[in-house]
C-alpha cells in the first residue's frame, strides 16, 4: 500500500475513535482548558506507537510520526466541536437592546426554563427574571408567577407593555 493510503486509513480510524471519545465525554466549556492536555496526549500516543514500531516494523513508524500531527489537529477540532455540541444541546439564547441596556433571554433546554438578564456594561450582567419556557407550534411562551411573554418569528411581545413587539437576535453558539 502506498504511504498516502495508509495515512488516509489511519486518519479515518483516528477520526472515528476521537469522535466517539469526545461524544462519550461530552466536554463542556468549563473544561475547555483540557485541550492543552488532550492534544499533546494524542501526539505522545502516536509517537510512542511509532517508537515501538521502529524496532518491530520500521516501515510503519513513519506513518505514526506523520499521524501524530494529523491526529492532534483532529483532536483539537473535534474537542472544540464537542464543546459547541454540549452548549447547543443545553442552551439557546436571544438578545435585544432597549436604549443603553442589552437584554438576553436564555432557554435552558434540559429543564425547559428561561432566564432574562440585563447588561449596561460589557462583561457584566444581572439576571432578573426566571420562569417556565414552553413551545406551542411556532410560538414560545415565557411564564412566571406574574408575567407571560410571547416570542414568535424572532419578536418578543409584551415585555414592557402589552403592545410591545421587540426584534430579537438569535445568538448562535
Three cell numbers, residue 42: 494524542
Predicted TM-score (pTM) of the model is 0.79
pLDDT at 162 over 80: no
Position 121 pLDDT exceeds 70 = yes
Digit-coded pLDDT (tens) for 34-89: 999 999 999 999 999 999 999 998 888 999 999 999 999 999 999 999 999 999 99
Return d(Cα 135, Cα 139) in angstroms, integer. Answer: 6
- Mean pLDDT, rounded, of the chain: 93
Ordered by start, the domain boundaries in the chain are 3-89, 99-171
CB half-sphere exposure, 164, CA atoms < 13 A? 16
Q: Say what the pLDDT of residue 172 is.
A: 80
C-alpha cell at 37: 492536555
Give pLDDT, residue 1. Answer: 66
Asked if 143 and 129 touch (Cβ cutoff 8 Å), the reply is: no
Integer Cα distance of 135 and 129 in angstroms: 18
Amino acid at each position: 500500500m502506498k504511504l498516502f493510503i495508509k495515512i488516509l486509513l489511519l486518519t479515518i480510524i483516528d477520526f472515528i475513535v476521537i469522535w466517539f471519545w469526545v461524544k462519550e465525554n461530552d466536554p463542556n466549556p468549563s473544561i475547555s482548558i483540557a485541550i492543552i492536555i488532550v492534544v499533546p496526549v494524542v501526539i505522545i500516543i502516536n509517537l510512542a506507537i511509532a517508537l515501538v514500531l521502529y524496532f518491530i516494523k520500521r516501515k510503519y513508524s513513519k506513518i505514526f510520526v506523520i499521524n501524530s500531527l494529523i491526529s492532534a489537529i483532529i483532536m483539537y477540532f473535534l474537542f472544540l466541536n464537542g464543546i459547541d455540541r454540549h452548549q447547543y444541546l443545553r442552551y439557546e439564547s436571544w438578545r435585544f437592546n432597549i436604549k443603553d441596556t442589552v437584554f438576553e433571554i436564555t432557554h435552558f433546554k434540559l429543564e425547559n426554563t428561561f432566564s432574562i438578564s440585563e447588561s449596561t456594561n460589557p462583561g457584566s450582567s444581572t439576571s432578573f427574571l426566571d420562569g417556565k419556557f414552553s413551545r406551542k407550534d411556532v410560538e414560545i411562551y415565557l411564564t412566571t408567577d406574574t408575567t407571560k411573554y410571547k416570542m414568535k418569528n424572532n419578536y418578543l411581545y409584551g415585555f414592557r407593555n402589552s403592545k410591545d413587539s421587540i426584534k430579537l437576535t438569535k445568538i448562535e453558539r
